[in-house]
Amino acid sequence: MAVAHLTMKMLMQKNIFFFVTLFLLLINPTLSLPLCTNSNAPVTPKAPLAFCNYTGSSCCDSTDDSNIKKQFESLNVSQPACASSLKIILCSRCDPFSAELFTIKTVARQVPVLCNSTASSRSNFCETVWDTCQNVSITNSPFSPLLQGQAPTPANSSSKLTDIWQSKADFCSIIGGSSVNDSVCFDGEKASVNMTTNSTKSAPTSMCLEKVANGSYLDMVAHTDGSNRVFFSNQKGQIWLATIPEVGSGRGLDIDESNPFLDLTDQVHFDIQFGLMSIALHPNFAQNGRFFASFNCDKTQTPSCAGRCACNSDVNCDPSKLVSDTAAQPCQYQTVVAEYTANRTSSSRASVIPTASPVEVRRIFTMGLPFTSHHAGQILFGPNDGYLYFMMGDGGAGDPYNFAQNKKSLLGKIMRFDVDNIPSESEISRLGLWGNYSIPRDNPYTDDKDLQPEIWALGLLNPWRCSFDAERPSYFMCGDVGQNDYEEVNIITKNGNYGWRVYEGTTLYTPESSTGGNTSSSSINPIFPVMGYKHSDVNKNEGSASITGGFFYRSTTDPCLSGSYLYGDLYAHNMWAGVETPENSGNFTTSNITFGCAKDSPIACDVVPGSDLPALGYLFSYGEDNNKDVYLLSSSGVYRIVPPSRCGYTCAYESRTAGSTPVPTSPSGSSANMLKGSCKSLLLLLLLFIGLGI
């Protein structure tokens, strides 16, 4: 037996390079929406750029444009053709896709990746640059020898391309990149990154659900070990570890409500607007057991609850003069993020972690709320950076103090914390932090000194349920509750300003009260929503309360929903699917989707009287498991999206055999998705080999 195992191990070791090579060959770049090199979203400059020929959306403002002009002049190039090419290259930093153009394998470049292949209809721009500039002396050349691992060029020195590279082929192998249709490279024109039209796939029109639990939960988080286990939490303050049944198994959720994983009801203040708002697992939870909860507390009942009031002198707000919207004291209620630890039975990755201690490991964040509404409270870890994102509303009451636009206020913001590097108490005091965390070095305050360092994005009313796209993590989607007329979905980017209280949706908003002053529309560059709905667009008899943000659907269970962003209204009578057209453009078209309940649902669905609609009650949240199946968390139970045929709906991409899971049959973009799936499978296989010591 030992000999057989050793032989197999040797065979696997011998072939490991095959799997690595195959994986690298199959990798397809994960392309995303327009982003600038500093991770900000492109905006439309208030005044046209004077030097760089980028109109409309751009990553440059007038200062950037002026600096690029100075850099160009410092090159001292008089040869017209070469000078023209160099200007185009320098100005490409203004391109809306500059984050893609100037980064390859996470390494920042001095020049964009130039297209150098004849495999597409695009021009071979790299060869053009070589042909026009190879024998031209360039002072402070942007074509740094560092790209070849050589010593840096001394300042103010001149060089020709032929001084560094022996041939055009050498130059383009370093400076250039493939110009095949799905790659990222600069061909001298405004970039167009993987813009497919989705023309062969129509917008989804229906969604089939099965009911897997009767309990009412507010949040759901998948276990980080990749298993079929998930955590559910309710607003009262209880958290459970549950097991998800296979789609089509006919079984409901395996959850023991009498045995919570963590019970925080003694710490949580529970009311209509208050409670346990969100939970998050540390990315390494399976190894370290670190668990985070966001909740509200009452400082009159819990001494440890008290924190600094969000209404303070820094934001020109006097708590003693606040007129509360209830009989509560201003900042009587607090928003809290706290860390807990799981009780581990062993160090094994696969060990069951049945409970967690209700004693806080540390208080990450505490802030007093000036009003009793619009305090959001979701927390989640970024899939790429490992930082903790914290969603915070404007405080409520129509934001009379204009907190959402005040860069010194944390209300109406999305914050970003580093909870792995906890500063000392003296550092916390010196930095003016609100708790036990540090500030990521690339938070936008480094670009905008007026911002509080915790802030990642601003100008939000009440972000209710955000998510990162499982396939494209740069798509950070948030549903943001409206005030009077419009509910919106935003793509959140670094330092993005989403307009509230200057705008509601795309319309200028007139506040009922302006105690804290106003912000002029000309002083901001708002990022408008990519999806949403007007209150007048929904059935007034059914009512409309507020938006519930969802997920990009990445499961194969319903292939007709694949790639759509799902969201709904709290009243659960209306749901929508947003399809991005072209892909990676940030432009979405939405459709209202019909939804029903499978007749063979593990738990029978109640229906709305006089209709076939399942009676969901209130739609609190969406959830996603490790198979990327999407769930609806409502006041009447937990529902999972299942194959459309189970509700009698028709999906052209669904193929079925008895007892099998539906598989998509080549919808638009399926080849790319299949390629990504192959890469993921190979990577998992490779990781398995490594984990087994093979």
pLDDT at 305: 94
Write out pLDDT tens, residues 46-94. 889 999 999 888 999 999 999 999 999 999 999 999 999 999 999 999 9
- For position 145, what pLDDT does the model report? 59
Give 650-689 as a 3 state SS string: CCCCCECCCCCCCECCCCCCHHHHHHHHHHHHHHHHHHHH
> What band does 107 get if pLDDT is binned at 50, 70 and 90?
low
List, as one string, the DSSP characters of 297-366: EETTT-GGG---BSSSGGGT--GGG---SSSSPTT-EEEEEEEEEEE-S-S-TT----EE-SS-SEEEEE
Rounded average pLDDT over 136-155:
68
Nearest to 443 by CA among 460, 434, 452, 456: 456
The torsion angle over the Cα atoms of residues 640, 642, 646 and 650, rounded to 10 degrees, is 130
Nearest Cα to Cα of residue 498 among 457, 547, 452, 444 = 457
pLDDT-derived band at 328 (thresholds 50, 70, 90) equals low
577 in Cβ contact with 565 (< 8 Å): yes
Q: Categorize the per-residue pLDDT at 644 as very low, low, confident or very high, splitting at 50, 70 and 90.
A: very high
What does the angle CA 95 – CA 37 – CA 419 come to, to the nearest 5 degrees? 150
Instruction: Compute the average pLDDT of residues 571-594.
Output: 92
Can you tell me whether residue 75 is helix, strand or coil? coil
Rounded to whole angstroms, the Cα distance separating 326 from 274 reads 13
Count the alpha carbons within 13 Å of 297 in the hemisphere toward its beta carbon.
Answer: 22
Q: How far is CA 42 from CA 227, 431, 446, 522, 653, in A?
A: 38, 30, 18, 17, 36
Determine the pLDDT at residue 20.
33
Residue 118 has pLDDT above 90, yes or no: no
What's the one-letter identity of residue 109? R
How far is residue 364's CA from residue 435's CA, in Å, rounded to a whole number? 5
pLDDT recorded at residue 674: 36
Q: pLDDT tens-digit profile of 244-257?
A: 999 999 999 999 99
- With 80 as the cut, is the pLDDT of residue 140 above it? yes
In 3-state terms, what secondary structure has residue 617? Answer: coil
pLDDT of residue 321: 83
Mean of pLDDT values over 481-500? 96
User: What's the confidence (pLDDT) of residue 540?
Assistant: 55
Which residues have a Cβ under 8 Å from the Cβ of 210 and sit 6 or more positions away?
Answer: 597, 598, 600, 601, 602, 639, 640, 642, 646
State yes or no: pLDDT of 187 exceeds 80.
Answer: yes
Please, what is the Cα angle at 502 between 500 and 508, to 5 degrees? 115
pLDDT at residue number 542: 60
Give whole-number Cα distances, 132 to 78, 80, 136, 173, 519, in Å: 12, 9, 8, 17, 49
- Name, in order, each residue with C-beta under 8 angstroms of 40's C-beta and a sequence gap of 6 or more: 59, 444, 447, 493, 494, 495, 496
- Return the amino acid letter for 62: S
pLDDT for the residue 81 = 96
Cα separation, 156 vs 139, whole angstroms: 6
Every domain of the chain with CATH number 2.120.10.30 lies at: 261-461+482-518
Q: Which of 176-185, 223-232, 663-672 has the highest mean pLDDT?
A: 223-232
Q: Which CATH architecture has domain 261-461+482-518?
A: 6 Propeller (2.120)
Share of the chain above pLDDT 70, in %: 81
Cα angle, residue 323 at apex, residues 320 and 329 outer, rounded to 5°: 65
Amino acid letter at 271? D
DSSP for residue 404: G
Is the separation of the CB atoms in 398 and 512 below 8 Å? yes
Is residue 242 within a helix (H) or strand (E), and if so which, with residue range?
A: strand 238-243
Question: Which residues make beta-bridge pairs with 576?
Answer: 567, 592
**Span 353-364, mean pLDDT?**
88
Does the pLDDT of residue 545 top 90, yes or no?
A: no
Predicted confidence (pLDDT) at residue 538 exceeds the cutoff of 90 = no
Q: Among the listed ranges 86-95, 145-154, 335-344, which one has the minimum average pLDDT value?
A: 145-154
The mean of the pLDDT values for the chain is 84
Instruction: Locate 47 and state its tokens.
Output: 């005044």
pLDDT at 155: 62
Distance between CA atoms of residues 143 and 171, nearest Å? 9
550-589 burial, b at 16+ Cβ within 10 Å, e below that, comes to bbbbbbbbbbbbbbbbbbbbbbbbbbbbbbbbebbbbebe
Query: Residue 541's pLDDT band (boundaries 50, 70, 90)?
Result: low
